[in-house]
Structure 1
């Protein structure tokens, strides 16, 4: 495994293929309080690319171009948050997308454990460490431990997707999952518009 650190943006000409695993690191979990700091990506080849963003300008045209490229599927775990952060700070609507957390909830109905660590353990046979999850992602320099943590969040998503796709197909829920993924950027837009705590489809 090699972790490549990029300052500000992805390098020109980098081709990460038709399916790219994507995750982000922020200073917290509130959209307008906590800034977007880092975006990590992997093509599924065992390497990861970690972009330390220039705040507050977020001048990253190559990254933005990738996020909106209709020919590249962006693969997330709990993409609702990352997609919302990209909408808010980068000004782009990320499409098309696939979310392994949604796929897990549709396919792995025998459990309520759908966090990344549990899903990767079962679907990819890898034990993830979450020790750096709450570290300072806005620091002037990222530590090697932070880089390794960021990489681990995207390195196994392709393998997880492959397993979940098999399970979705087996249970007859592939098309339902696809419709959920299509709606996901709109769900993130609802979060940003103030409906983050409300299910507008609920009766109450």
Structure 2
């Protein structure tokens, strides 16, 4: 059977179109694959960032903000002869600053003199409680004398790390008169940050 010229031309045109259609399909498939990879990477990155943010929040102690301050009763190390043990409950009804420190901690050595001065200036309205972490008694007492601390200090051997979400020291917590944690700072606190929190606590002391 003899093919007509039009049939031959159609087949040749169809043969020329096939590679183009195949190439278009390949490009489309590639674009879809790339889009999926970009989407998957974005989702994974968001999940990772979310997990990191959650870890940071918990590690910094900010997860305690809004909650009742974890209770404890620990042996007094210095500056309170009226009790053998103290804890947050000992200061119920007063704004309270709880500072975790140790004599071997560099940032603690830097910030504690500032805390000591702030505590002395705020003695009429805001209470301070130091928690000496995993320290030798003699070294801790020498540290307190050197830095001028006059507020009560208790000793801890690591029992509060879980309840206070401690991953390092220093750590400072700001507690309202009703026992709620209203702020937390991980690491060395700046003078401006301390002043801001003390103003808030002082306002709570006078206005409730």
Per the normalisation by structure 1, the TM-score is 0.25
TM-score normalised by the chain length of structure 2 = 0.25
Larger radius of gyration: 2
